[in-house]
Structure 1
Amino acid sequence: MAQLWGGRFTGSINELAWNFNASITFDKRFLEVDVKGSKAHAKMLAKQGIINDEEMTSIVEGLDSILEDVKIGKLEITTKYEDIHSFLEANLIERIGDAGKKVHTGRSRNDQVALDMRLYARDEVEHVTGLLTDILKVLNGIMGENLETYMPGFTHLQKAQPVTLAHHLGAYFEMFKRDLLRMKDIYKRMNYCPLGAGALAGTTYPLDREYTAMLLGFEGPTLNSMDSVADRDYLIEFMSALSTVMMHLSRFSEEIIIWNSNEYRFVTIDDAYSTGSSIMPQKKNPDIAELVRGKTGRVYGDLMTLLTTMKGIPLAYNKDMQEDKEAFFDAVDNTSNCLILFTQMLSTLQFNKENMKRSAMLGFTNATDAADYLVKKGMPFRDAHSVIGKLVLYCIDKNCAIDDLGIEELKSFSELFDNDIYEEISLETCVNKRLTIGAPSLKCMSEIVKLNYEFINSLV
């Protein structure tokens, strides 16, 4: 058992307790960021004259060699070590001797792991931001191609008013845009360096925390050493944002599942993102969308795990906080994988435009416009509402759209109907006369697609 402590102890730790306490099986992910942080720490120690330049060079080269050997499979990270920090330090000492024993000068595992988590989380924020950019690009591309693809808009899952596919998908563009902006905000708040906080009260060594922060690309050092090692707010904020991303993906998945059903047939999912049934040969199941929907609950659970862990912890560091890692890794892994697969699935979807348009017509999404037509002809709205309600009931019995009725049939409900009714209640007219900002008309949505394109380009 390789550990960074032991002088205080006369007996050995119970093997089960050792395994229960150890984190090497999951914090080995920190190898690269732990090397990065340790190199910066060594450079700062040399700058401050705490170690000499020769020792610093030896430490940096030793750390690089360990990282390279792990990457090529020459060196294995095993459960012989308590955590990634003890693995790295033990192997460094083995390679470079006494100089390796100085790398931990002025540092505690508490601020070391706090640094590793910030560096790792910061990288993951940038990674998720990139994945959100990808889905925004795909969405805006589909929107631009479907400015005049008519479909029903829904409330209560009932067909309500006609919109376009561009308008419907534009709602998801706004959701993922907010998710991306949240990532940028989170990055700014987490981008402060805890290294140098020590166990909780700083150190007597003359560290230059501003220099260390600069080397690692932080805005500056954290300003309270106790908070530095006890803070996991940035993880909670990030995981909360990941939960919101998953909620948006889940809502989108639900709609794709519905649209893919035999009753709707709005979309056809590519075979690469579907599976069949072991017993029913006709089945083509939307498994990726269903799994995204299912994994949303898992990411929510990861967030609740960390919130519950942190709620009763006094200052400063407590071992409970080791539980942050597995929940965080799980949340970020699942969200990233879901974003990647969902974006790929979305980019290969086939939209059945005629089915969408016919559904909007048979769903009487132009009924409100028909009532408005009668109001313009002089009929009170409440009377017009009643007339159109009866007209819809008549069409349901005949299994046809309002547009399918002849003028004489329409006049049997009101003499105010004239031949101009057909133009007035066409899906094109119903959509394109809605010209307020955010509405589905061709004019409005063309401008939105252009603005979306500019937003995406601004991210580069």
Structure 2
Amino acid sequence: MSDLLWQKDGVRVDAQIMAFLAGSDVLLDRELLPYDIEASKAHAEGLGRIGLLSAQETADLLRELDVLAADVADGRFVLDDRYEDGHSAIEARLTERLGDTGRKIHTGRSRNDQVLVASRLWLKNRLQQVHAICRDIAAVCLARADSDPALPMPGYTHLQRAMVSSTAMWQAGYAEAFIDNALRARQALDWIDANPLGTAAGYGVSLPLDREHTTQALGFARVQLNPIYAQLSRGKFEIAAIDALGAAMLDLRRLAWDLSLFTTGEFGFVGLPAEYTTGSSLMPNKRNPDVVELLRASYAPVAAARSEIEHLLSLPSGYHRDLQYSKGSLIHAFGHGLAALALVPPLLARMEWRADKMRAAIDDGMYATDRAIELAGQGLPFREAYKQAAEQPLPQHGADPEASLAARVSPGAAAALGLEMLKSRLSDL
């Protein structure tokens, strides 16, 4: 490991203790390193603007940071256990290339605001990805609801057959869910879009740092002003971002549950693309919906990450090393969640509805609510209509699922899906 940024003369570094302190930081910081480099460029520019770096020193630092960013992107520089973390790797590289000029990069900042700003930039990027994928899922659902035949299918409550529904209504329901999830991601992004760079170790520094410049250079909407609050927000902002991801994962879990049921032999409503299934190692007759089942399970690591970070925040104000453990939880949650969500648009676009199976599952009892509403519309008190429909469930149109769907005219129901309204909401995102 290279020289430690905080090393003091005469203090022995114990390898076992250092391994515990570093943990998996070097591996995790590979995710954050491009953002740490980006923030270092803004910081160098800021130091130049207040006269702590000469124009030449600033230009040299910016050039070498660009070279390092390119080397990281191309795989020529890989963060490894030569370094304590990504921050020390950046400073070591700049010092190797520029000598004392490289050592000036840390003036007026701390590893505390370095990790805050790098993780904040990383989070903004990941929330933008959540927003984009949720929009994609909603768009696929709306396209199929609009263009496919609106096939009758059973609607369920308590996993019991309840009323006649349609594939278009099912797809429109998930479209609206993921429109809301995209909105939730955008709102979380707006909330955390604050620049902590320049708050140092949580108490500011004796320099007139140009924080407005770094805020604009890094694309933040505002300065996170108070250094103490910058530290208080660590974990809090991460939880807000995970909550936005979690909202999408909750809907994904329910969608995957639907598909898990609909693909069983007992239902048979849906056929999955072949690559979304796997075979059994023992039973030659089996094709298993393993991808759907793992999509169903994918909320778990996101929820676990939220819980772990929440438990870490049982702390007083100021920075505490406990917060190091929030990094792994956050990166794992978004890595897993985004990978799962990315599989959904092609799955929904290519799955096949089996009209004959769905129609065969619609029994006479599923028209009873239509009959009760029909009788109430003729002036019968609803409770009397309810009793009569329980005994004679078929409405005037008989056991006709298309007629049942056509009569469902309340806004959002099968005959009034409001797809144009949903498309407008989606386009506004």
**TM-score past 0.5 threshold:** yes
Structure 1 residues 8-17 or 55-64, which shifts more?
8-17
Separation of aligned partners in 1, 2:37 and 2:159: 53
Q: Secondary structure at the match of 1:160?
A: strand
Deviation at 1:373, TM superposition (A): 5.0
Match of 2:287 in 1: 284
Residue pair 1:159, 1:363 contacting (<8 A) in 2 also: no
Separation of aligned partners in 2, 1:263 and 1:437: 32
Structure 1 residues 147-156 or 375-384, which shifts more?
375-384
Deviation at 1:162, TM superposition (A): 1.2
The partner residue of 2:421 within 441, 451, 457 is 451
Match of 1:71 in 2: 73
User: What is the root-mean-square deviation of aligned Cα atoms in Å?
Assistant: 2.0
Residue pair 1:146, 1:164 contacting (<8 A) in 2 also: no
Q: Secondary structure at the match of 2:194?
A: coil
Alignment of 1:178 onto 2:211: no
CA distance 1:266–1:16, shift in 2 (3 Å) = same
Separation of aligned partners in 1, 2:364 and 2:244: 36
Separation of aligned partners in 2, 1:303 and 1:220: 26
Deviation at 1:457, TM superposition (A): 2.7
Whichever residue aligns with residue 245 of structure 1, its letter is: A
Separation of aligned partners in 1, 2:17 and 2:364: 65
Whichever residue aligns with residue 20 of structure 1, its letter is: F
C-alpha offsets along residues 277-330 of structure 1, whole Å, 9 cap, x if unaligned? 1122221111111001122112111110000011x1111111111111110011
Residue pair 1:309, 1:320 contacting (<8 A) in 2 also: yes
Residue pair 1:243, 1:299 contacting (<8 A) in 2 also: yes
CA distance 1:220–1:4, shift in 2 (3 Å) = farther
Separation of aligned partners in 2, 1:217 and 1:307: 28
The partner residue of 2:413 within 423, 439, 442 is 439
The partner residue of 1:38 within 15, 37, 40 is 40
Structure 1 residues 157-166 or 423-432, which shifts more?
423-432
The partner residue of 2:257 within 254, 258, 267 is 254
Query: Structure 2-normalised TM-score?
Result: 0.94
Q: Which runs of 5+ in 2 are unaligned?
A: none
Separation of aligned partners in 1, 2:246 and 2:225: 29
Number of aligned residue pairs: give it.
426
CA distance 1:164–1:9, shift in 2 (3 Å) = same
CA distance 1:179–1:377, shift in 2 (3 Å) = closer
Residue pair 1:190, 1:234 contacting (<8 A) in 2 also: yes
Match of 1:264 in 2: 267
Residue pair 2:231, 2:318 contacting (<8 A) in 1 also: yes
1:397-408 to 2 correspondences below 5 Å? none
Q: Secondary structure at the match of 1:440?
A: coil
1:104-183 to 2 correspondences below 5 Å? 104-146=106-148, 148-183=150-185
The partner residue of 1:200 within 202, 213, 221 is 202
The partner residue of 2:303 within 300, 303, 311 is 300
CA distance 1:215–1:436, shift in 2 (3 Å) = same
Residue pair 1:153, 1:162 contacting (<8 A) in 2 also: yes
Structure 1 residues 147-156 or 266-275, which shifts more?
147-156
Whichever residue aligns with residue 364 of structure 1, its letter is: G
Separation of aligned partners in 1, 2:366 and 2:407: 15
Match of 1:19 in 2: 19
Alignment of 1:216 onto 2:218: yes
Separation of aligned partners in 1, 2:373 and 2:12: 84
CA distance 1:422–1:80, shift in 2 (3 Å) = same
Residue pair 2:124, 2:193 contacting (<8 A) in 1 also: yes
Whichever residue aligns with residue 109 of structure 1, its letter is: R
The partner residue of 1:241 within 241, 244, 251 is 244
Whichever residue aligns with residue 371 of structure 2, its letter is: A
Residue pair 1:289, 1:342 contacting (<8 A) in 2 also: no
Separation of aligned partners in 2, 1:328 and 1:377: 58
Separation of aligned partners in 1, 2:174 and 2:126: 22
Deviation at 1:425, TM superposition (A): 5.1
Residue pair 1:152, 1:363 contacting (<8 A) in 2 also: no
Residue pair 2:139, 2:175 contacting (<8 A) in 1 also: no
Q: Secondary structure at the match of 1:151?
A: strand
1:56-67 to 2 correspondences below 5 Å? 56-67=58-69
1:88-99 to 2 correspondences below 5 Å? 88-99=90-101
Deviation at 1:141, TM superposition (A): 1.0
Percentage of matched positions with identical amino acids: 31
Deviation at 1:258, TM superposition (A): 0.4
Runs of 4+ in 1 over 4 A off after TM superposition: 371-388
Q: Secondary structure at the match of 1:76?
A: coil
Larger radius of gyration: 1
Deviation at 1:174, TM superposition (A): 1.9
C-alpha offsets along residues 137-177 of structure 1, whole Å, 9 cap, x if unaligned? 11111111346311121111111111221112222222211
Separation of aligned partners in 1, 2:103 and 2:150: 69
1:379-418 to 2 correspondences below 5 Å? 385-386=386-387, 388-390=389-391
Match of 2:403 in 1: 429
Residue pair 2:176, 2:422 contacting (<8 A) in 1 also: no
Separation of aligned partners in 2, 1:104 and 1:16: 27
Residue pair 2:151, 2:167 contacting (<8 A) in 1 also: yes
CA distance 1:153–1:7, shift in 2 (3 Å) = closer
Q: Which runs of 5+ in 1 are unaligned?
A: 393-401, 403-420
The partner residue of 1:332 within 309, 314, 334 is 334
Residue pair 1:144, 1:449 contacting (<8 A) in 2 also: yes
CA distance 1:307–1:378, shift in 2 (3 Å) = closer
Whichever residue aligns with residue 10 of structure 2, its letter is: T
Match of 1:364 in 2: 365
Deviation at 1:219, TM superposition (A): 1.6
C-alpha offsets along residues 174-209 of structure 1, whole Å, 9 cap, x if unaligned? 221111111111111111100110111111111111
Deviation at 1:76, TM superposition (A): 2.9
Separation of aligned partners in 1, 2:377 and 2:142: 37
Whichever residue aligns with residue 342 of structure 2, its letter is: I
Deviation at 1:349, TM superposition (A): 0.3
Deviation at 1:128, TM superposition (A): 1.1
